[in-house]
Amino acid sequence: MHFLTKKLAIITLSKSGYILAQKLKQHFVLAKVYTHQQVRREENSFVKLADLIADIFPKVEGIVFIGPCGIAVRSILPHLQHKTLDPAVVVVDVGARWAISLVSGHEGGANNLAYAVSNILYCLPVITTTSEAQKDILAGIGCKRGVSKSRLKACLLMALDKLGLDLSRVRHLATIDLKKQETGLLELSKELDIPLLFLPKERLLACWQSYNKSQFVYERVGVFGVAEPACLVSGHFPELILEKTICKGVSIALARESCMSLV
């Protein structure tokens, strides 16, 4: 579900949250920001969160809470009906560290909304849906400008085939945020129904695990690599299982997350 053009409510209870809400509002064109009156008095300010939720819950396709999970859970609990009927609900902490898919993760699109929020605020998505959380392969991708979807797909499948891995195990594709407008990557993500996670330079540079660094790439892009650090910093204690592999202008690296139930 493409939430950039869906009817969303962004709810915040703090000044820090209001700043994040405004950043999100710039990208979600149909979103409305709801702020507690103690923080800011404006058109969509509210006094009681319970009253606000009662009013908007049946009317919106998604809700982004910026604040504690506990408050979000207590406020929506009386209105929950079914995962196929409830709006997608995502919770973001005021430090913009995590975007947690809370309600209607798969059917309602909260998992996708969590990724969309993460790509704006540069937090990491937290997905607990069993079918998604059990996907343990992270694919890091770097590419030249204008690479086609078909070439990207062929290179990804080639990399997975090297290790005998199935596409169904890939949790997301990760790359540098400079590629946010790369049509081939966007189309690939849509066709495969695999989320695309964009990471800022700072996060790639902060990768603490060893990987193949390139001075040439650093001089051109400002990072020492894309494919390897992208998959290494985008998951839970991942292990690099396929070093950067070059394929027709595309670099692919694969990492496997540490998932205790799969050990």
9-29 confidence digits (pLDDT tens): 999 999 999 999 999 999 998
- For the entire predicted model, the pTM comes to 0.91
- 3-class DSSP string for 106-157: CCCCHHHHHHHHHHHHCCEEECCCHHHHCCCEEEEEEECCCCCHHHHHHHHH
pLDDT in tens, 186-201: 999 999 999 999 999 9
Q: What is the DSSP letter of 218?
A: H
Who wins on pLDDT, 83 or 161?
161
DSSP-based three-state secondary structure for 179: helix
- Closest by CA to 53, choosing from 31, 34, 66, is 34
- Closest by CA to 66, choosing from 88, 43, 92, is 92
Who wins on pLDDT, 51 or 212?
51
Task: Take residue 173 and report the two structure tokens written for it.
Answer: 């594709």
Whether pLDDT at 155 is above 50: yes
Task: Take residue 30 and report the two structure tokens written for it.
Answer: 């149909």
pLDDT in tens, 69-101: 999 999 999 999 988 889 999 999 999 999 999
What lies within 8 Å, CB to CB, of 232 at 6+ separation is: 140, 207, 209, 211, 238, 240, 255
pLDDT reported for residue 262:
53
Whether pLDDT at 165 is above 60: yes
Whether pLDDT at 1 is above 50: no
pLDDT reported for residue 189:
95
For the chain, the maximum distance between any two Cα atoms, rounded to a whole number of angstroms, is: 58
Domains of the chain: 3-131 (3.40.50.11220), 134-262 (3.30.420.180)
- Beta-strand relationship, 62-66 and 88-92: parallel
| CA–CA gap between residue 139 and residue 90 (Å, rounded) | 24
pLDDT reported for residue 2:
63
Least confident of 40-44, 48-52, 137-141: 40-44
